[in-house]
Amino acid sequence: MTPIFDRFLYGGDWNPEQWDEQTWRRDIEMLKDAHINEATINVFSWASLQPDEETYDFTTLDRIVKLLVDNGMSIVLATSTGALPAWLVRTHPEVIKTDIDGRRHVFGGRHNACPNSPVFRRLARALASKLAERYAGTPGLAAWHVSNEYGEMCYCAQCAQSFREWLRSKYGTLEALNRAWYSNFWGHTILDWADIVPPVDYGDGIGTDKAVISGLYMDYRRFQSQSMLACYTNERDAIRAFDVDTPITTNLMGTFKNLDYFEWGRELDVVSWDNYPGMDTPPSFTAMVHDLMRGVGGNKPFMLMEQTPNQQNWFPFCKVKRPGEVRKLSWQAVAHGADTVQFFQMRQSIGGCERFHGAVIGHDGTEDSRTFREIAALGDELDRVGADLMGGEIDAQVAIMFDWSSYWSLEGCVGPTQGLRYPDEVHRFYRVFHERNIAVDMIPSTTDAATLARYRMVVAPALIQVLPGVADAVTEYVRGGGTFVTGYMAGIHNEHDLVVPGGYPGELRRLMGVWVEEIDALAPGETVPVMPVAAPQVVDGGRDLARHYGTVTGEQDGTAWSGVIVASLMHLEGARPLAVYGGDAFYAGSPAVTVNEVGDGRAYYVGAPLDEVGMGAVLGVVADGLGLESTVAGDGVEIMRRRHEDGSVDVYVINLEDRAVRASLASYAGARDRLTGNGVSAGGIVELPAYGVMILES
């Protein structure tokens, strides 16, 4: 598709207001030496732009903008509403958020506005308008960046009032609301709209992440996500009134829980997000989150708005990124659809809590640091090849559903286990495809049947909440020849978080051909053995799990895979078992993984979270049976393809690990590496150094 920007943006957050002007000029010279061509500015400047309610002062920002324009830099211009200025909290104390413990905050921190405060909405809109009026048409203005990392929930009186109105328009009557919430549980019946209060810790909440009435909890989360989105569109619309075409975005945070990003994606001109993997984040998890962010934006290229040029500062332990690691993370983002590489931040602060956060220019202030040199070398590469890579799309034959309702519902359950983290369970399935370099699109659960039909395989991990229409769409997809995979915890709840009566997996029971009668929780460290059934069960393409398992482990029987966290105890209602539980007599022989043939398609149920080998064997055999092309080039080597409109394809080959690896790229023999100009040898064997990257033209 046509790239959204006219060049590959390389840069990120720059906070010149923390420095004198001489330093600004030095920064620009150094940044240009690093091939940086973009600065994200004005992210936290509300206090200086507007010293009181009536006064605006753009003199400093004018000078910053002029310096960037004079130097031919692209600009991502933020609206500065991510942190409240002191005068605003002094004059309108209700503008600041109230936390789940009922503490109204005082001045300080950031991401601290009540999203339903009329004063906040009015003043944020006014500031965005003034900025847009003044800076629309600025040469090099690439994008608007509204606020910063939305996501902090508020529990104040104003939010409570707005929530009541939101509920009134959703349910109409208290009868309907009480029914949806099952509120006669513990006599929580709502008798007057005024009785409704947010699920605070000292009210209906159970800790910060659960509530007695989970319908209330779900609705409050939906309401807060939409309230914050309304803050975004409030500023966006103000900008649009003065600037008709510059893309407007806000920086998202991957699998961040509080915002239903699929709803948000519909309102963003381009998705941008901040990638901060921790020292133990598996590279496949990072890959998944890039795919999720791409999916949120409708599978269009996205912006990598932030990452660190070296260490973070806010993890308990912040590892120095090893040589080549930032480059690898950058190319991995591009491989998954990023059309920008941006950092937080350009110059390291000497004060404030982020002074130990990595930056392009460190405390030494020179170009002599390892970080600076690596950023400059990456900049050089992007300068050479970046523009040609932009706009490439990813063709995926597998889709994984990521559903914020199920996220909230699963982690909001009181029982049967505290062991399930929704993003980790999605990753448990995703990882199998990643290991095989099978591209995945992340899609909302409410995707219609026609769109599902574009995929050979649709996977719905831990889809505990089946929203209206989802079961029908998935069933139609399977009947028409699709392959659907779900499993443990699926289908238990409706959209109000009420159990669908009549046996799990509720609305999916007919499709899956199983009845899950009981769900056993396993203690931390406890496992239940799961093994493929001995008698050959013909699966797709004549392969069977038992035989495949043999090739995976080198044994025909004996050791089994491990089921962890929860185990579904189920009855077959038309499905065939592919694997059964072992272990004690209670479990032994009962179905653990099943397949049901429905119409022209198949529906697989994975009854327990399996270890890596188990998940790999089960999903792998399904993928193989469908003939999905999998490319395992070498251990820890990721391969992604981005296709351009003219049919050409860039093949990203990335060594995800900090050790050299020999990769076998037989199908790309002779292809040229855009980065070095070298061709892949006839045999297709390449040596990739630690974190090495190749981009093959194909």
CB of 124 to ligand GLA, least distance (A): 17
Q: Is 159 annotated as a binding residue?
A: yes
Q: Give the integer Cα–Cα distance in Å for 694 and 383.
A: 16
Q: Which of 409, 466, 497, 499 is nearest to 215 (CA)?
A: 497
CB of 159 to Zn ion, least distance (A): 3
Contact residue for ligand GLA among 145, 294, 300, 357 (CB under 6 A)? 357
Q: Using CB atoms, what's the residue nearest to ligand GLA?
A: 274
Give Rg (Cα) of the chain. Answer: 26
| Residue 152 touches which of Zn ion, ligand GLA, none (Cβ within 5-8 Å per kind) | none
| Residues 148-167 contacting ligand GLA, CB under 6 A | 148-149
Q: How many CB atoms lie within 10 A of CB 603?
A: 27
| Residue 154 touches which of ligand GLA, Zn ion, none (Cβ within 5-8 Å per kind) | Zn ion
| Residue 148 touches which of Zn ion, ligand GLA, none (Cβ within 5-8 Å per kind) | ligand GLA
Q: Of the two residues 99 and 495, which places its CB atom closer to Zn ion in the complex?
A: 99
Q: Of the two residues 354 and 411, which places its CB atom closer to ligand GLA in the complex?
A: 354
Q: How many CB atoms lie within 10 A of CB 268?
A: 24
94 is catalytic: no
Would strands 398-401 and 483-487 be described as parallel, antiparallel, or unpaired?
unpaired
Q: Give the integer Cα–Cα distance in Å for 183 and 52.
A: 46
DSSP codes, 448-489: -HHHHTT-SEEE-TT--B--TTHHHHHHHHHHTT-EEEEETT
CB of 597 to ligand GLA, least distance (A): 47
Q: Which of 525, 683, 554, 659 is nearest to 617 (CA)?
A: 554
The residue annotated as part of the active site, out of 38, 235, 306, 425, is: 306
The residue annotated as part of the active site, out of 149, 235, 381, 638, is: 149
Say which residue the tokens 């100009």 belong to.
677
Q: Does 347 bind ligand GLA (CB under 6 A)?
A: no
CB of 314 to ligand GLA, least distance (A): 6
CB of 669 to ligand GLA, least distance (A): 42
| Residues 284-343 contacting ligand GLA, CB under 6 A | 306, 308, 312
Q: Is 413 annotated as a binding residue?
A: no
| Residue 306 touches which of ligand GLA, Zn ion, none (Cβ within 5-8 Å per kind) | ligand GLA
Contact residue for ligand GLA among 344, 404, 429, 668 (CB under 6 A)? 344
306 is catalytic: yes
Binding site for Zn ion (CB under 5 A): 114, 154, 156, 158-159
CB of 342 to ligand GLA, least distance (A): 11
Q: Give the integer Cα–Cα distance in Å for 477 and 446.
A: 13
Partnered with residue 605 across adjacent β-strands are 486, 594
Q: Of the two residues 114 and 442, which places its CB atom closer to Zn ion in the complex?
A: 114
Residue span 255-284 as binding mask against ligand GLA, x where in contact by CB under 6 A, dash where not: -------------------x-x--------
| Residue 182 touches which of Zn ion, ligand GLA, none (Cβ within 5-8 Å per kind) | none
Q: DSSP class of residue 506?
A: G
Q: Which of 544, 533, 483 is nearest to 512 (CA)?
A: 483
Q: Of the two residues 149 and 291, which places its CB atom closer to ligand GLA in the complex?
A: 149
CB of 214 to Zn ion, least distance (A): 21
* Residue 380 tokens, joined: 């050089």
Amino acid at 199: P
Q: Of the two residues 43 and 569, which places its CB atom closer to ligand GLA in the complex?
A: 43
Q: Is 178 annotated as a binding residue?
A: no
| Residue 149 touches which of ligand GLA, Zn ion, none (Cβ within 5-8 Å per kind) | ligand GLA
* Residue 630 tokens, joined: 């999998």
Strand order in the sheet with 649-655: 637-643, 649-655, 693-697
Count of residues in the chain: 698
Q: How far is CA 64 from CA 193, 278, 408, 518, in A?
A: 51, 33, 42, 63
Residue span 219-258 as binding mask against ligand GLA, x where in contact by CB under 6 A, dash where not: --------------------------------x-------
CB of 86 to ligand GLA, least distance (A): 19
Q: Of the two residues 318 and 498, which places its CB atom closer to ligand GLA in the complex?
A: 318
- Burial class, 132, CB count within 10 angstroms (exposed 0-12 / middle 13-18 / buried 19+): buried
- Burial class, 485, CB count within 10 angstroms (exposed 0-12 / middle 13-18 / buried 19+): buried
Helix or strand run (H / E) with residue 691: none
Q: DSSP class of residue 297?
A: T
Q: Is 148 annotated as a binding residue?
A: yes
Q: Is 154 annotated as a binding residue?
A: yes
Q: Which of 86, 81, 94 is nearest to 149 (CA)?
A: 81
Q: Give the integer Cα–Cα distance in Å for 134 and 235.
A: 15
Annotated binding site for Zn(2+): 114, 154, 156, 159
Catalytic residues: 149, 306
Annotated binding site for substrate: 110, 148, 314
Binding site for ligand GLA (CB under 6 A): 148-149, 251, 274, 276, 306, 308, 312, 344, 354, 357
Annotated binding site: 110, 114, 148, 154, 156, 159, 314
